Chain A
Amino acid sequence: EAQVTQNPRYLITVTGKKLTVTCSQNMNHEYMSWYRQDPGLGLRQIYYSMNVEVTDKGDVPEGYKVSRKEKRNFPLILESPSPNQTSLYFCASSLTGRQNSPLHFGNGTRLTVT
């Protein structure tokens, strides 16, 4: 089944403890990105990747890192999480980065930082 898989689904952690949210897609998509969703602020892009080894900042990149060493994987790293990073996170991918290419989302990771 074609899908974007992100793990874990739920995560509770403490301030400063490094964590990684994994994301993998099996559709051979070139483009991948991370979004966070917050009440009142909507969905905002954190980072994106046009292809392997090519990543760039989105609208809210502070406090996050990404890497794209393989086409299928695009992990999100929080080196030192803080409570303001409590959010619902989505990984998404599309065949290309073009405007006619729908983004397909993973099921989301609900992160709580205490």
Chain B
Amino acid sequence: AQKITQTQPGMFVQEKEAVTLDCTYDTSDQSYGLFWYKQPSSGEMIFLIYQGSYDEQNATEGRYSLNFQKARKSANLVISASQLGDSAMYFCAMREGGKAAGNKLTFGGGTRVLVKP
């Protein structure tokens, strides 16, 4: 079973509008971290935001916020006031506790966002 699911392969958003990128996850761990990364066409992987499984408040970083619904196992990324430079691939990822998981990040398939002027 997929551990991280991003159901939106691609989406358009109008400049200055907000966009929500969906992410659901699957884990039996009680302690885990959820992350979002941005990959522009130039290829680098940029860390955007982090949410811990025990965090009661939703994480925010500038124009990025994470809508964390633990019972539904969802961690949606909201980008407010979209800019042309937000056009990129966005990945949701999870890091589970325990060495058995390789301490690795497990990534979703990504959502490509294109911001229209």
Contact = CB atoms under 8 A, between A and B. Distances in A.
B49 to A, nearest CB: 9
A102 B104 contact: no
Given A48-B103, A99-B52, A100-B52, 14 more contacts: A33-B104, A43-B105, A43-B107, A45-B102, A50-B103, A59-B102, A88-B43, A100-B50, A102-B35, A105-B45, A107-B43, A107-B44, A108-B43, A108-B45
Interface residues of A, number: 26
Nearest to A49: B103
Interface of B: 29, 31-33, 35, 37, 43-47, 50, 52-53, 91, 95-97, 99, 102-105, 107-110
A58 B106 CA distance: 11
Interface string A13-31: 0000000000000000001
A99 B110 contact: no
Nearest to A109: B43
B45 A48 contact: no
Contacts of B29: 99
A65 interface: no
B104 A48 contact: yes
A105 B44 contact: yes
Contacts of A31: 103
Interface centre among A45, A50, A101, A103 (most CB of B within 10 A): A103
A98 B103 CA distance: 7
24 contacts: A33-B103, A42-B109, A45-B104, A48-B103, A48-B104, A50-B103, A56-B102, A99-B29, A99-B31, A99-B32, A99-B33, A99-B95, A99-B97, A100-B52, A102-B33, A102-B47, A103-B95, A105-B37, A105-B46, A105-B47, A106-B44, A107-B43, A108-B44, A108-B45
